[in-house]
Structure 1
Amino acid sequence: MNKNEFLNRFTNKDRLILSNIFDKINLAIKVQVPIYTNEFYTTDICIEVKKLSTLLGVKIETYGIFENSERNMMAFSYEGDNYCYFPLKLIKIENKSKFNKLSHKDYLGAIMSMGVNRNKFGDLIVIENSCYVAVSEEIASYILNNLNSIGKCTCNICELELTKSNIPKIKFEELNIIVSSLRLDCLISSICNISRNRAVELINRGNVLLNYVTEKEKDYNVSFGSTITIRGYGKFKLFCDTGVTAKNRIKILMKKFV
């Protein structure tokens, strides 16, 4: 598969990002050793690239430190090669203020305001007064040496070893909903507890993202494992079905990111 054939497999994706990924894959084939990206990619890109593994002739693995990471680095190699190293670090940012709380948005904005490209760091997990961030190895020192406050809050920042005890788990709130089908508008209506018409309005306005891409087809059939982001309502993962009702409606377990 040449680069143009690879790029044409994707729609509505950044072609420069995809071109860089293809170059990494091509390098792995040439040198016959595992090659790693130094950037993080959203789930939709990782899923679509991994689908092409056989056609590309490489084994593809992803890693973002956290369980069920939404942003991951990728590694490419021949079948049988072992992956032993991803160029990333885990940093912990601790808010020392007793009076001001910081949210996910505050930590994200602080790192972005330093001029760090969003692709250079992965998920941010906020637990109480601390934020855990997966960052590219090449910018870890820069963040560690320069981030000492967020707004009016003084912060301590340090690097953590990648041990099981140091890696927090993403927290979810479980939601049980009942739908007539897995159509996008049906799911939005039940998740948000709004009418079907109101759900369609949200979809038409571009307020609904499916696997991080705006989806405007109200009758799109959503698959399990998909992530649905609804502006103003939150981010959800369509986890699994748990049975059917007496009226043959589908019982669904959703997980809301908290």
Structure 2
Amino acid sequence: MEYSIARLNDMINWVQKNRHDRFTDFLSMRDQKILLKLIDKYDDIDCRFDGGFKEAERKIACIYPLYLTISDGEHFDVIKGIRIDGDLTKLSHRDVLGSLLGLGIKREKIGDIIKRQEICDVIVHSDIADYVLMNLKKIGREKVIVSSIDLDEVIEPVIEYEDIKTTVASVRLDSIIASGFKISRTKASELIKAGLTEVNWETNISPSFEVKEGDIMSLRGYGRIKLQEILGTSRKGRVYVHILKYK
């Protein structure tokens, strides 16, 4: 569940009124961008994000009045690391998340899930850390052992992706989406207009939007891609592109 703008505004107003810091739960990349835009309207309020490790996507925000000193080098006390050991080779990120949600835990209390072979590290809010340690016994049908770890022990995520090098008529959003997800341009345009596409974690309903190098696009139900590089133009005017499709 994503934070509403009203909920984020309420937290900012609380900080301004009480002159004290306040933590959100884990925010998606989209909600992080929204929070930054909201805070930009205030001269006396700021925020810092922490996801438990450098490359984290889901992060908790500390919203604070500027007169407070918030250290950039320390992790928030409300963030904890949990390691899951067992025969996890056939289990996916979705299986792990599903088992956690099956315990009655809200999604916003769970940060990133990093899985490698038979080890899986999960970043969680301190509110639920002990509950997970006591109650998570299985993922799917596999028995697991759960333990607490320091955040500096969290395994580094390995980003897997498919390399797609192709030509497109232009770097319009519908053209890149069509090539990245191997669907027709007409279908891509329909899905974009239906509000199912995000560019850099913001909904984009314009098929003609011009994509830039480094832009990350997601299409609901299909996944996520990145325009890694624009390689040049052919004699016929088509554009050579390098797209990464995340697995």
TM-score above 0.5, yes or no: yes
Aligned with 1:145 (options 131, 134, 139): 134
- Say if 2:198 and 2:218, in contact at 8 Å, map to a contact too: yes
Offset, 1:204: 4.4
Shift of 1:160: 1.3
**In 2: Cα distance, 1:106 partner to 1:113 partner:** 10
The answer as to whether partners of 1:66 and 1:167 remain within 8 angstroms in 2 is no
Structure-2 residue corresponding to 1:6: none
Structure 1 residues 80, 254: CA separation in 2 closer, same or farther (over 3 Å shift)? farther
**1:93 offset after TM fit, Å?**
1.6
Residue aligning to 1:7: none
Cα distance in 1 for residues equivalent to 2:175 and 2:47 = 34
Confirm or deny: 8 A CA contact 2:84 2:144 kept in the other structure: yes
Where 2:25 maps in the other structure, the secondary structure is: coil
> With structure 1 as the length reference, what TM-score do the two structures score?
0.77
- Structure 1 residues 157, 253: CA separation in 2 closer, same or farther (over 3 Å shift)? farther
Is 1:74 the counterpart of 2:61 in the alignment? yes
> Which ranges in structure 1 are unaligned for 5 or more consecutive residues?
1-11
In the TM superposition, residue 186 of structure 1 has moved relative to its aligned partner by 1.4
- Distance change (3 Å), C-alpha of 1:101 and 1:226: same
* Aligned mates of 1:15, 1:113 — CA distance in 2: 27
1:191 alignment partner, SS class: helix
Of 10, 17, 22, the residue aligned with 2:7 is: 17
Aligned-partner Cα distance in 2 for 1:132–1:255? 25
Aligned residues of 2:28 and 2:58 also touching (Cα < 8 A): yes
Cα separation, 2, equivalents of 1:23 and 1:114: 33
Cα 1:53/1:180, change in 2 over 3 Å: farther
Mean alpha-carbon deviation: is it higher for 106-115 or for 219-228?
Answer: 219-228
Secondary structure of 1:55's counterpart equals coil
Q: State the one-letter code of the partner of 1:61.
A: R
* Alignment correspondent of 1:241: 229
Aligned to 2:186: 197
Q: CA RMSD in A?
A: 3.1
1:145 to 1:231, Cα distance in 2 relative to 1, 3 A: same
Q: How many residues align?
A: 239
Same amino acid, percent of matched pairs: 28
Q: Which 5+ residue runs of structure 2 have no aligned equivalent?
A: none
Q: Which amino acid aligns with 2:90?
A: K
Q: 1:129 aligns with which of 113, 118, 124?
A: 118
Deviation digits for residues 181-219 of structure 1 (CA, Å, limit 9, x no counterpart) = 442211101212333113223334554344556543322
Cα deviation, 1:135-161, whole Å, max 9, x if unaligned, reads 111111111110011221101111211
